[in-house]
Amino acid sequence: MLGKEVICVDAKRIPAEIPNHPAEGKVYTVRKTFKNENGRWGIYLTEIVNPAIMCTAAWGRYKFEPNFAEWRFTDLLGQPLDVEAALREELETVEVEVDKKQGA
């Protein structure tokens, strides 16, 4: 998933406290992914870096760089992103490569 190019398809209603945000129709590169406390995946983009903001969670307050919901993006072919499936596929690829190196 890291380094994958994605297209922003929904830049509506991004919270005002996030100063830098994607533009619809523009291509971006995935810098990092993050599973939010609500179980949804967020995406950090290489081209956009935001200052940390204060957040309140069940366990207390903390600062973090805001991310953008995966549903705001598609792949370059227009298919919806599925961060979890992409990470699972990457992990399976790594496991196969390790097995080959170990002669399994």
- Quote the pTM value: 0.81
pLDDT at residue 88, rounded to an integer:
86
32-54 confidence digits (pLDDT tens): 999 987 889 999 999 999 999 98
Distances in whole angstroms, Cα of residue 71 to Cα of each of 45, 46, 62, 82, 98:
14, 18, 25, 9, 32
pLDDT at residue 86, rounded to an integer:
87
15-26 confidence digits (pLDDT tens): 888 999 999 999
Alpha-carbon distance of 12 to 96, in angstroms, equals: 40
Radius of gyration of the chain (CA): 16
